[in-house]
Chains A and B, each alone.
Chain A
Amino acid sequence: EDQVTQSPEALRLQEGESSSLNCSYTVSGLRGLFWYRQDPGKGPEFLFTLYSAGEEKEKERLKATLTKKESFLHITAPKPEDSATYLCAARMDSNYQLIWGAGTKLIIKP
């Protein structure tokens, strides 16, 4: 069964404490892996798309990486404004629909 699993479910960090969020996927024929950020009371906001193993993309304090089984969202020296729920989703070759993970709620304490 095609599936996307995110871990941990929640992560609390001190400001400046770097860490990583995990998105593991079991899909047949990955066509793309997507990261979104969702703030409370808002819809998801697109961050990155990764297409092939070894690819990396960066935006400010965030860097997304992709292997053949999982993706990581690395956050370096986070600030309180990075607090949000981070969602990942996978798209297969055979279907345009995205398979979503349940998200990781990230809390950065000042």
Chain B
Amino acid sequence: ETGVTQTPRHLVMGMTNKKSLKCEQHLGHNAMYWYKQSAKKPLELMFVYSLEERVENNSVPSRFSPECPNSSHLFLHLHTLQPEDSALYLCASSQGIGSYEQYFGPGTRLTVT
């Protein structure tokens, strides 16, 4: 595997389900990000981790819970989601939190029913 990978690529879940999104980066980076992308809207930064420590939580509802067990892996745990949470969830990594070049995974297309 190369670059940034994300699983699953597609996820359909009910409002009462609990699921997790997984991201893995094979680039040796030390910063990782979760973004939400909705149609025709700018990317929304959700969480940032630097050296496995969370450095940013942009007022994200508690039904989204991130986890970064090491510098290569990032998870987004989901529970009791709302239909408006349906979107493309993108993971990215960079060499240093201030680095300009962020490398993105292919995303997980989430549909909440």
Contact = CB atoms under 8 A, between A and B. Distances in A.
Q: Is the interface of B mostly helix, strand, loop or mixed?
A: loop
Interface string A36-79: 00000111111001000000000000000000000000000000
Interface residues of B, number: 21
A43 B105 contact: yes
Contacts of A17: none
B92 interface: yes
Interface residues of A, number: 22
A98 B45 contact: yes
Contacts of A96: 97-98
A103 to B, nearest CB: 8
B98 to A, nearest CB: 5
Given A96-B97, A97-B56, A46 B102 contact: yes
Interface of A: 4, 9, 32, 34, 41-46, 49, 87, 89, 91, 96-103
5 contacts: A41-B106, A42-B107, A43-B106, A96-B97, A98-B43
Interface of B: 4, 40-43, 45, 48, 56, 90-92, 97-98, 100-107
